[in-house]
Amino acid sequence: MDTDSKNATPLVAKHCVPCEAGTPPLTPEQAQAFLPQISSRWRLEPLRLEREIVFRDFGRAMAFLNEVAEIAEGEGHHPDFSCSYNRVTLQLTTHAIKGLSENDFILAAKIDELLRQRRQTT
C-alpha cells in the first residue's frame, strides 16, 4: 500500500492482485485510509464496502451491471450484487481472506470511474 500520498498511485490506475494464503485483511485504520480515494457513497461495513445506485430503469441498471462484470473479470476480483428493478446494490469483499483488501478499494474506484464516464455520455 502506498503511504506517501504525493507519490501514491491512484486506486483507479492500479490492478487487483490475488491474495495469497495467510494474507490478513485490512485493519479498520487501513480501510479508513483508502476511503478518501473512493466516492463517499460507498459505506464501509465491518467486512465489506457497500453502495446502492438507482438508475432510471431496469435496462440501464442491467447495462451498468454488465459493464461492472467486464471490469471485474479483467481485474479477477468480483463483487456481490443484487438488482431490484432499477436499484443495484454492490458489495465488495475479499472472500479468500474474509474481509477487505486493497483489491476491494481498487474495484470501488474503477466502478466510480465507470459511473463518471456514463454520466458524461448520457
Domains identified in the chain and CATH numbers: 44-122 (3.30.1360.20)
Give the residue with greater pLDDT, 92 vs 122: 92
Q: What is the pLDDT of residues 17-74, one digit of tens each?
A: 998 778 999 999 999 999 999 999 999 999 999 999 999 999 999 999 999 999 999 9
Is residue 45 within 8 A of residue 52, CB to CB? The reply is: no
Edge-first strand listing for the sheet containing 87-92: 43-44, 49-54, 87-92, 80-84
pTM over 0.85: yes
With a cut of 60, say whether residue 77 has pLDDT above it.
yes
- Three-state DSSP class for residue 122: coil
Rounded average pLDDT over 73-83 = 97
